[in-house]
């Protein structure tokens, strides 16, 4: 999960971007002015910055200039209301990674954010699009699951649960850990939702692949 800093003084736009990013699974921080945004970015408290140009006090250009001046390589996507070649060129020259022109579709911004985050992670992080343990294969891009060569259909939540289990093969994960990673962290820990989903997963991928460790949790079987 990545934390995205949104530097935007317009409440409406900031909350629209924030809501969208949260439902796409990102954490968000909003700064309403340039100086605050710069401080958060420099403190290393985010993975990417969505930076508006028109801000009170220090504007977006200055924030970008100072951020790059301090040696930061954080990916920055500028929001510009002015659809001009000049702004774009200036922005890219002064170290913006990308820009989106207002008004924009959220999907367009999200696509650019995802692209920049992937680039940031570098080629080694681009590789694990697949998780494979025994004969269970998860394709993280297409969200397809194959068990012993046959495709199995899972809901989004089941897929995430299976992914978390398979990222730690042979390791016991407690209900609390699974709740935190697959559901909201503030989900009632007494809830039996994990058990219900594990039961469904077992039915779909084979009961013996997920082991119950009494009093501790669940483990994806490695051999
Ligand atoms: Ca603005």
- 185 against 52, higher pLDDT: 52
Check pLDDT > 80 for residue 29: yes
Name, in order, each residue with C-beta under 8 angstroms of 97's C-beta and a sequence gap of 6 or more: 75, 76, 77, 116, 119
Mean of pLDDT over the chain: 86
Question: What spacing in Å lies between the alpha carbon of 10 and ligand 1's midpoint?
Answer: 5
Question: What spacing in Å lies between the alpha carbon of 57 and ligand 1's midpoint?
Answer: 11
The first and second tokens of residue 147, run together, are 């068990």
The first and second tokens of residue 218, run together, are 């669940």
Question: What spacing in Å lies between the alpha carbon of 80 and ligand 1's midpoint?
Answer: 9
Question: What spacing in Å lies between the alpha carbon of 161 and ligand 1's midpoint?
Answer: 39
d(CA 53, CA 218): 48
Lowest mean pLDDT among 31-35, 109-113, 216-220: 109-113
Question: What spacing in Å lies between the alpha carbon of 48 and ligand 1's midpoint?
Answer: 18
pLDDT at 22: 92
3-class DSSP assignment, residue 201? helix
Name, in order, each residue with C-beta under 8 angstroms of 153's C-beta and a sequence gap of 6 or more: 145, 204
The first and second tokens of residue 117, run together, are 């985050």
Question: What spacing in Å lies between the alpha carbon of 77 and ligand 1's midpoint?
Answer: 14
Question: What spacing in Å lies between the alpha carbon of 97 and ligand 1's midpoint?
Answer: 19
Question: What spacing in Å lies between the alpha carbon of 134 and ligand 1's midpoint?
Answer: 52
Check pLDDT > 80 for residue 123: no
pLDDT at 125: 47
Question: What spacing in Å lies between the alpha carbon of 156 and ligand 1's midpoint?
Answer: 36
């Amino acid at each position: 999960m990545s934390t995205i800093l949104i530097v935007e003084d317009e409440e409406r736009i900031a909350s629209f971007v924030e809501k969208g990013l949260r439902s796409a699974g990102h954490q968000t921080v909003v700064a309403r002015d340039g100086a605050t945004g710069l401080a958060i970015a420099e403190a290393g408290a985010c993975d990417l910055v969505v930076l508006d140009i028109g801000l009170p006090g220090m504007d977006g250009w200055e924030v970008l200039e100072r951020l790059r001046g301090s040696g930061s390589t954080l990916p920055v996507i500028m929001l510009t209301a002015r659809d001009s070649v000049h702004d774009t060129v200036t922005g890219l020259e002064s170290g913006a990674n990308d820009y989106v022109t207002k008004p924009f579709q959220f999907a367009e911004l999200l696509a650019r954010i995802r692209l920049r985050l992937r680039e940031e992670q570098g080629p080694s992080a681009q590789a694990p699009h697949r998780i494979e343990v025994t004969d269970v294969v998860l394709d993280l891009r297409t969200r397809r699951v194959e068990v012993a060569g046959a495709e199995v259909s899972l809901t989004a939540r089941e897929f995430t649960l299976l992914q978390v289990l398979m990222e730690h093969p042979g390791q016991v994960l407690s209900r609390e850990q699974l709740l935190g990673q697959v559901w909201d962290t503030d989900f009632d820990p007494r809830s039996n939702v994990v058990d219900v989903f594990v039961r469904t997963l077992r039915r779909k991928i084979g009961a013996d692949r997920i082991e119950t460790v009494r009093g501790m949790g669940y483990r994806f079987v490695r051999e």
